[in-house]
Chains A and B, each alone.
Chain A
Amino acid sequence: MEFIQMLESLLGSRNRERVLVFIYTRRKGYAREISRFYGTDLTPVQRQLERLESGSVLCCETAGRTRLFSLNPRYPFLKELQALLEKALSFYPADLKDRLALNRRRPRRSGKPL
Chain B
Amino acid sequence: MTLGELAAFICTRLKAEGISCTLSGGACVSIHTRNKFQSYDLDFIPDFGTDRKDIRRTLQTAGFIENGRYFKSDETRFYIEFPPGPLAVGSEPVKVVITLEFPTGTLSLLSPTDCVKDRLSAYYHWDDRQCLEQAELIARDNPVNLTEIRRWSEAEGMSSEFKSIRKRLIHG
Contacts and interface: CB of A to CB of B under 8 A. Distances in A.
User: A and B bound?
Assistant: yes
Contact of A76 (B88, B122, B126): B88
Interface in B87-138: 88, 90-93, 121-122, 125-126
Nearest to A72: B125
Interface string A52-79: 0011100000000000000001101111
A78 B69 contact: no
B91 A79 contact: yes
B63 interface: no
B83 interface: yes
B84 interface: yes
B143 interface: no
Q: Determine the main DSSP class of A at the interface with B.
A: loop
A74 B125 contact: yes
Nearest to B92: A76
B90 A54 contact: no
Contact of A73 (B86, B88, B125): B125
Interface residues of A, number: 9
Given A54-B69, A79-B91, A74 B84 contact: no
Given A54-B69, A79-B91, A74 B122 contact: yes
Nearest to B126: A73
Contacts of A56: 83-84
Nearest to B84: A55
B129 to A, nearest CB: 16
Contacts of A55: 84
Contacts of B88: 76
Interface in A73-90: 73-74, 76-79
Given A55-B84, A56-B83, A73-B125, 10 more contacts: A54-B69, A56-B84, A74-B90, A74-B122, A76-B88, A76-B90, A76-B91, A76-B93, A77-B91, A79-B91
Interface of B: 69, 83-84, 86, 88, 90-93, 121-122, 125-126
List the 8 closest A-B pairs by CB distance, nearest first: A73-B125, A76-B88, A76-B91, A55-B84, A74-B121, A74-B125, A76-B86, A56-B83
20 contacts: A54-B69, A54-B84, A55-B84, A56-B83, A56-B84, A73-B125, A73-B126, A74-B90, A74-B121, A74-B122, A74-B125, A76-B86, A76-B88, A76-B90, A76-B91, A76-B92, A76-B93, A77-B91, A78-B91, A79-B91
